[in-house]
Amino acid sequence: MRTSLPANLLGAFLAFGYFQFIDPRAVAVARRPSAGQLIFFVVGTTVLIAAGNWLGHWLARPLSKGLPAPGPGGDKARRLAVQLPWVMAGITLLGWVMAGLIWGVLWNLMIGTFEPQHSARMIFGITFVAGSAATAYVFFATEHQWRRRLPDFFPDGGLTEVDGVLRLPVRARLLVMFVLSSVIPVSVLGMLAWNRAREALAAPPWIADAIVRNLLVSVVFVAVVAIVVSIVLALHVSRSVAEPLATLESAMVEVERGRLDTRSPVVSNDEIGRLTEGFNRMVRGLQEREFMRETFGKYVSEEIRDEILAGGVALQGEPREVTILFADIRDFTPWVEASDPREVVRDLNSYFTEMETAIRAHGGLVLQYIGDEIEAVFGAPVAKPGHAEHAVRAAQEMRRRLAAWNAARARVGQPPLRNGIGIHTGTVLAGNIGSADRLSYALVGDAVNLASRLQSLTKELNADVLVSGTTRSQIDGELPLTPLPAVKVKGRTAEVEVYALG
């Protein structure tokens, strides 16, 4: 609404200059206006201004009631919000069309000087010259001001998807600028040259010379006015394109810095608006992908996660030499029977957190929790050299973390927990296993069974960590492994060489 006054003042200035310097004969009258004619002029001007303001407020009234609710009524308000610059520009253009009819036709009829040619020239100067500039100014100025509030009506996006609304593409904006800065000034100069040529041909030589000199002054005036008006309108047109692009560029910089919650406001339904909505959808997709990536990272190590997401890991199943680790809590059943279930769940979660932290710290992947048991693998799904040593060092850290965790429990009067760990290296089939609707990454093979049997043997051999001879043979570093007598394992005919971790 605040754009109407400066726009109409701009139009009035252009109309005055046009009829003062370009086509003064179009408003020439035979006699001085009477009091009634002056009243008509004042009343006509007042009515046009008042009617324009009333119509603008009445049409924009739904937008002053706050953000629209979902439903047909809200859709109507959102459609109006998109079209508000068009509505205000239409009201301005209608006002200048009415002004052309009032002073180009009715005014000449009242003062008794009506001539179709003069009326057409007045309508051209009022509506085409002054009205087009005022209308363009209202459109771009309203659009600039309204863009601050427009995103509030579309908090979830979708501005460019509103049906039944007018659109002003970037190419059309540039065309409007071309018309206002070149076509209209050229038309005005043509009208000026035509009028002055007619006057010079009909006048005596000495008057014709004065008319030609006056033509030069008029041309300079038209050029200056055209330049000023073109600069004003060009600033508005360029700002309507440059500002949303600058905002989009700033949002892109924020995304490059890792801020995936960044959104660029959509302030138009043209190509830039569609580009901005596409950018927002892209960032939303990146945010969802990052969420999935972080969630996935809670189940596997970061290295494994990144390899799987990058497509560097075959999940359909393949033979792999890996090291398997099983860890099980001792005396779990008596502890559960003597404790509150909620405390058991809380303590289990805390225990699993400590153990998995140790496993992940050495490149291991926890495959599953089975009651109080942990199954982990080293060397899959991403092949990693030295996986046998990594598994044993993870067991060392699990032991240290369990001791620290038990010390904290002892300070609050809770009983300590013990566990047994079995480690074995062998070839397994690693891949996705499950139904068509639910899969899990799992290991299949005799090596898995042997690692589980070693974990069970920790009770009989009075050792918290048992390592198979196969695993021991692949360790290059110095680790405190004490050989134990070979043991008979269920499901195997040959005895198994085992070591206790000191």
Q: What is the pLDDT of residues 135-173, one digit of tens each?
A: 888 888 888 888 888 888 887 778 888 888 888 888 888
In SS3 terms, 253-307 reads as HHHHCCCCCCCCCCCCCCHHHHHHHHHHHHHHHHHHHHHHHHHHCCCCCHHHHHH
277 touches 251 (CB < 8 A): no
- Report the range out of 110-124, 293-307, 314-328, 453-467 with the highest average pLDDT: 453-467
Residue type, position 40, single letter: F
Residue whose token pair is 């598994």: 391
CB 383 within 8 A of CB 296: no
List 321's β-bridge partners, or say none. 427
**10 Å Cβ neighbour count for 450?**
23
- The owner of tokens 């970061």 is 302
Q: Where are the domains of the chain?
A: 4-256, 316-501
- Nearest one of 48, 64, 55 to 8, comparing CA atoms: 48
- Pair type for strands 419-434 and 465-468: parallel
| pLDDT, mean of residues 418-432 | 93
User: How much is the pLDDT for 376?
Assistant: 95
Give me the pLDDT at residue 106, please: 78
Lowest mean pLDDT among 124-128, 285-289, 488-492: 488-492
- If pLDDT is split at 50, 70 and 90, which confidence band does 7 have? confident
Task: Choose between 423 and 79: higher pLDDT.
Answer: 423
Q: Could you tell me the sign of the dihedral formed by the alpha carbons of 130, 132, 137, 142, in that order? A: positive
- Is the pLDDT at 223 greater than 60? The verdict is yes
Q: For the chain, what percent of residues have pLDDT higher than 70?
A: 89
Note the CATH number of domain 316-501: 3.30.70.1230
Q: Tell me whether residue 75 is exposed, middle or buried, using C-beta atoms within 10 angstroms of its C-beta: 0 to 12, 13 to 18, 19 or more.
A: middle
Q: With a cut of 80, say whether residue 420 has pLDDT above it.
A: yes
The arithmetic mean of pLDDT across residues 415-425, rounded, is 95
pLDDT single digits (tens) 261-309: 888 998 888 899 899 999 999 998 888 888 777 766 666 556 666 766 6
What's the pLDDT at 342?
A: 92
Task: Measure the CA–CA gap between 347 and 330, rounded to whole angstroms.
Answer: 14
**In the predicted structure, residue 425 carries a pLDDT above the cut 50:** yes
Give per-residue pLDDT as tens, 315-335. 667 899 999 999 999 988 888
Instruction: For residues 270 and 86, give the distance between their C-alpha atoms in angstroms, rounded to a whole number.
Output: 14
| Predicted confidence (pLDDT) at residue 440 exceeds the cutoff of 70 | yes
Which pLDDT does position 287 carry in this prediction? 87
Instruction: Give the contacts of 177 (CB within 8 A, at least 6 positions apart).
Output: 233, 234, 237
Backbone phi, then psi, for 479, in 5-degree steps?
Answer: -130, 145
Task: Indicate whether 447 pLDDT > 80.
Answer: yes
Pairing of strands 373-378, 496-501: unpaired
Name which of 231, 235, 63 is nearest 148 in CA terms: 63
R_g of the chain computed on alpha carbons = 42
Sign of CA dihedral 467, 473, 478, 480: positive
In the chain, the percentage of residues whose pLDDT exceeds 90 is 29
The CB-side HSE value for 468 (13 A sphere, CA atoms) comes to 29
Q: What are phi and psi of 235, to 5 degrees?
A: -60, -45
What mean pLDDT value characterizes the chain? 84
Condensed to tens digits (0 to 9), the pLDDT of residues 25-63 reads 776 544 455 666 567 667 777 788 788 888 888 888 877
The Cα–Cα gap between 377 and 365 comes to 5
Q: For 444, phi and psi rounded to 5 degrees?
A: -130, 130
| Range 403-409 average pLDDT | 95
Cβ partners under 8 Å of residue 9, min gap 6 = none
Q: Is it the case that residue 73 has pLDDT exceeding 60?
A: no
Residue 293 to residue 260: CA distance in whole angstroms: 13
**Cα three-residue angle 95-101-103, rounded to 5 degrees:** 100
